[in-house]
Amino acid sequence: MNRQQRRASRGQGQAPRDPVILRADDLHARGLLAYQAGAFDRSVSLICAAIAAKPYDASFHFNRANALQGLGQADKALTAYRKAISLKHDYAEAHSNLGALLGNLGRHDESLTAFNAAISLRPDYAQAHSNLSALLGMLGRYDEALTACSTALGLKPDHAEAHSNLSALLRILGRFDEALTACKAAISLKPDYAEAHSNLGALLRTLGRFDEAITACNRAIGLKPGYAEAHSNLGNALRGLGRLDEALAAYNKAISLKPDYAEAHSNLASLLDTVGRFDEALTACNTAIRIQPGYAKAHENMGIVFDHLCRLEEALAAFDTAISLTPDDAGFNFNQSCALLRMGLFPKGWDQYEWRWKNRHMAGSQRHFAQPIWHGDIDAGKTLLIHAEQGFGDTLQFCRYATLAAEHGMRVNLEVPRPLVRLLGNLPGVDQVVGHGDALPHFDVHAPMMSLPRLFGTTVATIPGKTPYLRADEGAAALWRQRLSMIAGQGPRIGLVWAGNPKTHCPDLASRERRRSISPEFLAPLFKTRGLKFFSLQKDGPAAPAEFPLIDLMQEMEDFADTAALIANLDLVISVDTAVAHLAAAIGKPVWLLNRFDSCWRWLIGRRDSPWYPELRLYNQPQPGDWKPVVAEITADLILFQNNCCR
């Protein structure tokens, strides 16, 4: 066969390819390579040129949409995905990617429709099931999300993304060991999977392993520098270590990479709230909600900012929206409870307060006994164990309910922190007081202490506010009386407390402690009132300036019983919102409370008195962080107090 015959033979049954088509396919292939290299601009340009030559190829439009997503051009990406689907109705991959993008935009109903279309077209498409699980998790539909994830892994056990999604779900559900296993499986299957490293960082941050979390997030960023989610997770981990400036930079980097990233705006809002930049925090919340109206966490953060600004009606509305979006979120419900209680809406507030046990910060401290929990039914002769659950101040305030239960005919035992055992041993009606960790006495039913106001149906009008309900040991108080006469001589005796527990282990709690504490230097005007004897009741925290005329005997205080004996010999206690203020008020001493602008719910709002303590007077900040007017008012009132004492 000669050359001409061979050429003719090759041409039979195979038409030569159109050079325009060849050119389009080449452009498309080069566009895919650019996409894989992260050069999204070039990818879009090349694929658009391919589409110009071959406009009806659905895969071209699909890959153009992927590249547009890489550029953050969500609206154009949506159009491109839909064009691909219009050209190829059974294009399961396009339906799935469309669903993922719609989910990121907060268009959850449309997203679900797209995922279900993908799965209907290809029931064995593991990626669609994995994407569906991520969306259902975002919606708080965790059981369905776990089912979708399990389906994905059943179809493709080595699906790294499904393992990573499973890890994120298990983290939310508090199943941290399983979450860690799933995340490590994802990384083992795909070591360069940036998303899995970022999820690992989020999980380690939840576990309080902040240094490891930072390492994991930085690994994700090293693999994928433009990965906004990893920068946001890095910000969360940095915040956990109190490195707030670096956290702020990380959130801003995430937003610069992905301006429509609602979660990063919400995280930024929370951090700005923590540092007291409330107006900026509201702006960031509004941005997050504008981007993703159904993002419940952003609505919760909005409620928290409003709460800190004392705009409580707006706070309640924001919490209501968050709860309507994710009804079973413990944090949303608990935060709403505090706003309700602060407004004096006690019945609903106490009910909502029970959500604290599902909050990850408190779930681990919930007590479980063979004996049943008490539901408030009075059964004379039965023994009730009341166990303290939170701080010293909470125990001092709510231990009064033990007496109330005893007055209704029950035998009552108390379990409290050890530094309170001696003091509460004389609480009326209590049979036995033991410290945490000690062997428990017999009991028939039990109740956490902070649930007692709900069980007794407490309203503002029915608060058991009679004081004193605690007393100092008479012998110890007498010894201090003699000693103070020698140390301080005559003149009104004033106790001072300026700071709470710094709680440096938790930046969010530390922020609250900073807001409720006052730098001791601000108290200098108090000492200008002559004839007063000032005693430090500050156990820890920042030291007062050496030149302050303070008598400090706190190193001799072994527990609260000792402190009560000392306070019994004072005429007045001036304190920020601390356990010492509760102690002094509980033993019937006058207390002037320096109260932060966003005060604790127990002090209600808009009051100068407290129905919990008749002898307590509130001095409220007029603006967040503004202690000067508070100190000025107290200084003026001290002069009147001295005059009354000297009459």
Buried (b) or exposed (e) across 501-524, using 16+ Cβ within 10 A? Answer: beeeeebbebbbbbbbbbebeebe
Residue 346 in this model has a pLDDT that exceeds 80: yes
Give DSSP secondary structure letters for 241-274: TT-HHHHHHHHHHHHHH-TT-HHHHHHHHHHHHH
Query: Of 9-23, 451-465, 533-547, which one has max mean pLDDT?
Result: 451-465
Which domains does the chain carry? 15-81 (1.25.40.10), 259-366 (1.25.40.10), 383-462 (3.40.50), 474-645 (3.40.50.2000)
pLDDT of amino acid 66: 92
pLDDT digits (tens, 9 = 90+) for 520-579: 999 999 998 888 999 999 988 888 999 999 999 999 999 999 999 999 999 999 999 999
C-beta of residue 331 within 8 angstroms of C-beta of residue 299: no
How far is Cα of residue 242 from the mean position of the Cα atoms in its chain?
A: 15
pLDDT digits (tens, 9 = 90+) for 319-333: 999 999 888 888 999
Residue 381 in this model has a pLDDT that exceeds 90: no
Dihedral in degrees, nearest 10, Cα atoms 235, 237, 239, 245:
-50
The pLDDT confidence band at residue 508, using thresholds 50, 70 and 90, is low
Query: Of 240-244, 294-298, 365-369, 581-585, which one has max mean pLDDT?
Result: 581-585
- According to DSSP, the β-strands at 572-576 and 591-595 are parallel
C-beta of residue 43 within 8 angstroms of C-beta of residue 60: no
Give DSSP secondary structure letters for 40-108: HHHHHHHHHHHHHHSTT-HHHHHHHHHHHHHTT-HHHHHHHHHHHHHH-TT-HHHHHHHHHHHHHTT-H
C-beta of residue 339 within 8 angstroms of C-beta of residue 307: yes
Phi-psi region of 437 (alpha: psi -120 to 50; beta: other; left: phi over 0): left
Phi, psi of 607 (to 5 degrees): -120, 155
pTM (global) more than 0.85: no
Peptide bond into 468 cis (omega under 30): yes
pLDDT of amino acid 13: 46
Residue 139 in this model has a pLDDT that exceeds 90: no
Phi, psi of 602 (to 5 degrees): -65, -20
pLDDT of amino acid 403: 96
pLDDT digits (tens, 9 = 90+) for 272-305: 999 999 999 999 999 999 988 988 999 999 999 9
pLDDT of amino acid 18: 62
- Exposure of 212 by Cβ count < 10 A (0-12 exposed, 13-18 middle, 19+ buried)? middle
Phi, psi of 353 (to 5 degrees): -65, -20
Longest dimension (CA), the chain: 133
Residue 453 in this model has a pLDDT that exceeds 50: yes
pLDDT of amino acid 3: 42
Q: How confident is the model over 640-647, as a mean pLDDT? A: 74
- At 543 the three-state DSSP class reads coil
- Measured CA to CA in angstroms, residue 125 lies from 76, 117, 132, 154, 301 at distances of 25, 11, 11, 11, 37
Q: CA 153, CA 370: separation in Å to the nearest integer? A: 39
Query: Would you say the C-alpha torsion 524, 530, 536, 538 has a positive or negative sign?
Result: negative
pLDDT of amino acid 499: 92
Q: CA 249, CA 76: separation in Å to the nearest integer? A: 29
- At 375 the three-state DSSP class reads coil
Higher pLDDT, 354 or 103: 354
Q: How confident is the model over 356-372, as a mean pLDDT? A: 82
For the chain, how far is it from start to end, CA to CA, in angstroms? 133
pLDDT digits (tens, 9 = 90+) for 403-430: 999 998 899 999 999 999 999 999 999 9
- Measured CA to CA in angstroms, residue 614 lies from 354, 472, 566 at distances of 27, 18, 21
Nearest to 349 by CA among 447, 453, 449: 453
pLDDT of amino acid 2: 43
How far is Cα of residue 338 from the mean position of the Cα atoms in its chain?
A: 14
pLDDT of amino acid 510: 65
Residue 208 in this model has a pLDDT that exceeds 60: yes
- When the pLDDT of each residue in the chain is averaged and rounded to a whole number, the result is 91
Cα angle 618-620-621, degrees, rounded to a multiple of 5:
160
Q: How confident is the model over 164-189, as a mean pLDDT? A: 92
Q: CA 180, CA 199: separation in Å to the nearest integer? A: 10
pLDDT of amino acid 647: 54
